[in-house]
Amino acid sequence: MKPYDGLNEIWLRIPTVKVFADGIPMTKTAWMWEPYLGGGYGALCVPGANDVERYEELMKIIRLAHDHGYQLAIHVVGDRASDSAVDGIVQAMHENPRGNPRHYLIHGDNMSPECARRMARYRIGLSMQPYIKAQIADILKLFIGEKRAAYNWPMRTVLDAGIPVSGSSDTPCTYPNWLLGVQAAVLRESWASGQVSGPDECITVEEAITMYTINGAWQDHMENIKGSIEVGKLADLQVLGADILSVDPHEIGQIPVTMTLVGGKIVYESS
């Protein structure tokens, strides 16, 4: 019996084990294949005396959670960390096939196109936070250079690969406002300078909305009961004060919420 058996899983579910595989580029702790400007590659942040031992430890952690029936959510920022986490998930799924675990990575800032295609092949999900890109776009180039900084948060690449990509805020690192996430994903503009970082990785408004709705429900194994407005599903939704599909994308983050419904009941209404 799991500790959450008996809960109303519409409101509270605890199906997932979160694993921190590496750190972040601004402290040079995200595990990279290419060195940071000034040197260093970062490392996995699991026990081990060297890269090989830490890699093997990550494989064991992933296999343990998978074998006990949990969904894995793995924090990865460096491209080498992403590759390693996918190695572990694929290995665990091959050695112990079970249902549809929907393991997923969190962030995937520097994920390579090859890694994205591998994730799509095995239906490994990805949770991305577009507004972080807007926060760090200018400073990131000081750590990994102009080219890698522009590619960072490759949303076009991962969506085109066919990965189920969900959107989140990573609060308190950013504001808990999904509209700001949509705006950031569409524009890829620095919050500080306004410069566009990696225009080839911009996505459409419709794609960004999908990340924050039905794809998030898929990640939670709940796409049959929420994530879209359909008969028979939960009426968890917001009414916006402007048409998000037609306004200037620069205004998306400022669209007012006029009403919020949870389970079909109004829980917020603007004056």
* Amino acid at residue number 139: I
Q: Is the pLDDT of residue 5 over 80?
A: no
**Long-range contacts: 171-176, Cβ < 8 Å, 24+?**
173/129, 173/132, 173/135, 174/129, 174/131, 174/132, 174/135, 175/131
First to last CA, the chain: 47
Model pLDDT for residues 136-145, shown as the tens digit of each residue: 999 999 999 9
Closest CA to 127 of 82, 193, 190, 179: 82
Model pLDDT for residues 192-238, shown as the tens digit of each residue: 999 999 999 999 999 999 999 999 999 999 999 999 999 999 999 99
Question: What's the CA gap between 79 and 50, in Å, rounded?
Answer: 18
CA angle 124, 130, 132 (to 5 degrees): 115
Annotate 246-261 with three-state secondary structure.
CCCHHHHHHCCEEEEE
Give, as one character, the DSSP assignment of residue 196: B
Q: Which helix (H) or strand (E) holds 106?
A: strand 104-107
Q: How many helices (H) and strands (E) does the chain have?
A: 8, 8
Dihedral (Cα; 152, 156, 162, 168), 10-degree rounding: 70
Model pLDDT for residues 115-136, shown as the tens digit of each residue: 999 999 999 999 999 999 999 9
Domain range annotation of the chain: 16-228
Model pLDDT for residues 147-194, shown as the tens digit of each residue: 999 999 999 999 999 999 999 999 999 999 999 999 999 999 999 999
Average pLDDT, the chain: 96
Q: What's the CATH architecture for 16-228?
A: Alpha-Beta Barrel (3.20)
Q: Is the pLDDT of residue 40 over 80?
A: yes
Is 72:101 a contact under the CB 8 Å cutoff?
yes
Strand bridging mode 257-262 / 237-240: antiparallel
pLDDT at 6: 67
Model pLDDT for residues 19-32, shown as the tens digit of each residue: 999 999 999 999 99
Confidence of residue 1 (pLDDT cuts 50, 70, 90): very low
pLDDT at 236: 95
pLDDT at 3: 54
pLDDT at 195: 97
- % of residues, the chain, pLDDT over 90: 94
Q: Is the pLDDT of residue 9 over 80?
A: no
Q: Is the pLDDT of residue 64 over 70?
A: yes
- % of residues, the chain, pLDDT over 70: 98
